[in-house]
Amino acid sequence: MKFQTEVPLVPAKGKPISFNAQTVLLGSCFTEHISEKLDFYKFQTQTNPFGILFHPQAILTFLTHVYHNKIDENAIFFNDEQWKSFDAHSRCNHHEKSIFLDQLHTQIQDCNSRFKTTSHFIITLGTAWNYRHLKTQKYVANCHKLPSAQFEKVLFSVDEITDILTKIKAIIHHFNSNAEVIFTVSPVRHLKDGFVENTQSKAHLISAIHQVVDTSVTTHYFPSYEIMMDELRDYRFYTPDMIHPSAQAIEVIWDKFKSVWIDSNLNSTLKIIKRIQNGLQHKPMHSNSEAHQHFMASINAEIERLKKQFPQLKF
């Protein structure tokens, strides 16, 4: 007897992710969970250079800056003793303006160079709701806890999001015409928008993605949201806030992503890497003991064997 409705997955039609692949992940906080898994298994990744970006327009704004190789200094302001940008997440903030600007410029210039050789872009969309700054009439990536009276909340239509995703795909393929673009929708429910409003938002995102995916052989959809909503619908797969996926849920979604997008020839190697990583994270009671030294020697020997086979691996 089955107690779950399993979401059927089909093999990826694009190039699988190997250790030679260079992967960039952009979007909501769920993007960072997938990035952590890729990092754990030693794939070459870069994640959210401007921090977490929830809305498609914020991702497009970031990619437009990369395309033009410059930031929008008009989006920068000083508040609560920190320099901030409406185009970036609060984790980019800094109390020194020169350092703040230098960090943003460095990220943009690095991406402008890196994207030319990036083979896979994984983009996780969080919400179709966005905020327009009334003074500048520009949509922001982050309100930075400024008074809500300074913003207007707007729900983007399916057509508007479709247009944004088309532009995102165009910029990516400007840098590398062969890059695989994998869209997914965050399984995190934005219940602060409201239950009905969150469902409408996710529906707009999913509908827009499918309109774009259907037009290109290098553009794909991975059903993170559907796996969470249908296959993992029990609240035991959520953190105590009943909104975010638990570690177990993230592991399930990662395993499914791995089965579709990670090169299947690496399965046995990934098991070795997991054993090595767990060994490196182990905290011994007696680090100077002969048993621990022997254990670490065996771990290091295994690392060296892997690096001979895959020189790009870095532990």
Q: Is the model's pLDDT at 58 over the cut of 90?
A: yes
Backbone angles phi, psi at 251, to 5 degrees: -65, -40
| pLDDT tens track for 118-170 | 999 999 999 999 999 999 999 999 999 999 999 999 999 999 999 999 999 99
d(Cα 65, Cα 105) in Å, to the nearest integer? 10
What is the predicted pLDDT for the residue at 4?
83
Average pLDDT, the chain: 95
| pLDDT tens track for 200-257 | 999 999 999 999 998 889 999 999 999 999 999 999 999 999 999 999 999 999 999 9
What is the predicted pLDDT for the residue at 284?
76
What is the predicted pLDDT for the residue at 114?
97
- State mean pLDDT over 29-53: 96
- Residue pair 206/225 in contact by the 8 Å Cβ criterion: yes
CA 74 to chain centre: 26
- Residue pair 152/134 in contact by the 8 Å Cβ criterion: yes
Strand order from edge to edge, sheet including 180-185? 44-47, 22-27, 120-125, 180-185, 219-222
Contacts (Cβ under 8 Å, ≥6 apart) of 309? 269
Contacts (Cβ under 8 Å, ≥6 apart) of 87? 50, 58, 61, 62, 65, 71, 72, 75, 140, 141
| pLDDT tens track for 172-204 | 999 999 999 999 999 999 999 999 999 999 999
What is the predicted pLDDT for the residue at 291?
83
What single string gives the DSSP state of each residue in the chain? ---S-PPP----SSPPB-TT-EEEEEESHHHHHHHHHHHHTT-EEEE-TT----SHHHHHHHHHHHHHT---GGGEEEETTEEEETTS-GGG-BS-HHHHHHHHHHHHHHHHHHGGG--EEEEEE--SEEEEETTTTEEES--TT--GGGEEEEEPPHHHHHHHHHHHHHHHHHH-TT-EEEEEE-----GGG-HHHHHHHHHHHHHHHHHHHTT-TTEEEE-HHHIIIIIT-SGGGB-TTSSSBPHHHHHHHHHHHHHHHB-GGGHHHHHHHHHHHHHHH---S-TTSHHHHHHHHHHHHHHHHHHHH-TT---
What is the predicted pLDDT for the residue at 262?
97
- Residue pair 40/277 in contact by the 8 Å Cβ criterion: yes
d(Cα 52, Cα 287) in Å, to the nearest integer? 38
Residue position matching structure tokens 């009334």: 134
Q: Is the model's pLDDT at 2 over the cut of 80?
A: no
d(Cα 191, Cα 247) in Å, to the nearest integer? 20
What is the predicted pLDDT for the residue at 121?
98
